[in-house]
Amino acid sequence: MTGRRVCSVARALEIVGERWSLLVLREVFLGVRRFDAIGAATGAPRAVLADRLRALVEAGVLVRWEYRDAGARTRHEYRLTGAGRALRPALVALMQWGDRYRPVPAGPPLHIEHAGCGAAVRARLVCDDGHVLDDDGRELRAYPNSAFSVP
Amino acid sequence: MTGRRVCSVARALEIVGERWSLLVLREVFLGVRRFDAIGAATGAPRAVLADRLRALVEAGVLVRWEYRDAGARTRHEYRLTGAGRALRPALVALMQWGDRYRPVPAGPPLHIEHAGCGAAVRARLVCDDGHVLDDDGRELRAYPNSAFSVP
DNA sequence: AGTCTGAGTTCGATATACGAACGCAGCTGT
DNA sequence: ACAGCTGCGTTCGTATATCGAACTCAGACT
């Protein structure tokens, strides 16, 4: 047994597993950074949105950035930190799963490509020797860390 | 604006975004397939677990598989479908984020490597021409599908 | 007959989510 | 100066979900 809070997926989901959190992050990735705009794009209730943004800032995934448009008062916007940007592969993986297994008639709403060569980009498993693995997971081997063995 | 249910991440999260769903799936990936075992490993309350398993089966991510141990009555276990296995990159991406940004003193609880070469495996963005992208996303270009433009 | 086990259901208490309404600060036009 | 607008939240009352513990049920074993 892997235990409860020992699981890394569980620790990640403590931050981004709340309802709306990942949708908020998706909008920030797309450049939507202001409270009302994020609310409109995701549909999250305002109170929940305020709570999620607070939690994401506290978790170090977003920062509240002060800015001022010409002739306007000081406002805030939310920007990704390094930890936030590191969530991109997870978000892309979920996006492509949605595109494939929950498609909409008009096709994928967002297309992502490699700026260098223009080819479509996907989240895949890659080993540190550079081999790109098959999606069926047959080339994969998983070892539990022995420090977590059941006593 | 990208709209609400138009977002592919949102459609994916309708299935796997409920509390416990991804943790249940992680256990099934690790070979934990029976109700009580999944419950013990995740800590999910039994009623919620029953509900999630039902939803995941209905969504085509798991199947309820009938089996019989020698001298025992018919039982059920939950197995991944193709759609379920396709969630592996998302799960690995979340796992490595948790390992990196929410580490535990003893180190990563699970190590994943390439069976062929033994090198560590990570979820990364790869284009269809085989280029592995940097994690900072600077090599990335995203286009909204014009069919979704605001009228 | 009685016990054990795996796989859920049921139940009352608590926590979260929901949408609508309200608050507030500071700019802008009059 | 003063009303109005806007961006960004907070408050409120209700609906829904989650929680842990207790209960059920079927079939095999003793």
B chain contacts of residue A101, beta-carbon cutoff 8 Å:
12, 60, 83, 86
Q: Which residues pair with A120 in a beta bridge?
A: A113
Task: Return d(Cα B91, Cα B25) in angstroms, integer.
Answer: 9
As a whole number of angstroms, the distance between CA B26 and CA B11 comes to: 20
- In this predicted structure, what is the pLDDT of residue A13? 98
- pTM attached to this predicted model: 0.94
**Mean pLDDT along residues B132-150:** 82
Q: Which amino acid is at A113?
A: E
Mutation target vs A (from B27, B32, B85, B126; most A CBs, 10 A cutoff)? B126
Q: Which residues, in sequence order, are bridge partners of residue A122? A: B126
Backbone phi, psi, residue B141, to 5°: -130, 135
Q: Does B3 have pLDDT greater than 70?
A: no
Residue A136 near chain B (CB below 8 Å): yes
pLDDT greater than 60 at residue B149: no
Report CB contact under 8 Å: A111, B143.
yes
Question: CA–C1' distance A73–C25 (Å)?
Answer: 9
B144 or A151: which carries more pLDDT confidence? B144
Say whether B143 and A110 touch across the interface (CB within 8 A): yes
Residue A43, token pair as written in the block: 């549909």
Higher pLDDT, B17 or B69: B17
B83 touches strand C (CB under 7 A): no
Residue A70 or B32, more confident: B32
What does the pLDDT read at residue B5?
A: 57
**Residue corresponding to tokens 């309802």:** A19
Chain B residue numbers touching A110 (CB-CB < 8 A): 2, 8, 142-145
Bridge partners, B122 (sequence order): A126
* DSSP characters over A62-89: EEEEEE--TTS--EEEEEE-HHHHTTHH
Q: Block means of pLDDT (10 residues each) for chain A, length 151 residues?
A: 69 97 97 96 97 97 86 86 97 98 94 96 96 90 76 40
The SS3 of residue A48 is helix
Range of weakest confidence among A17-21, B55-59, B72-76: B72-76
Residues of chain A found within 8 Å of residue B90, distances taken between Cβ atoms = 90, 93-94, 97, 123
Non-local CB neighbours of B71 within 8 Å, separated by 6+ positions: none
Structure tokens at B138: 């600077």
Q: CB contact, 8 Å: A16 with chain B?
A: yes
B18 backbone dihedrals φ, ψ, rounded to 5°: -70, 150
Q: What pLDDT, on a 0 to 100 scale, did the predictor assign at position A151? A: 40
Q: Is the pLDDT of residue B93 over 90?
A: yes
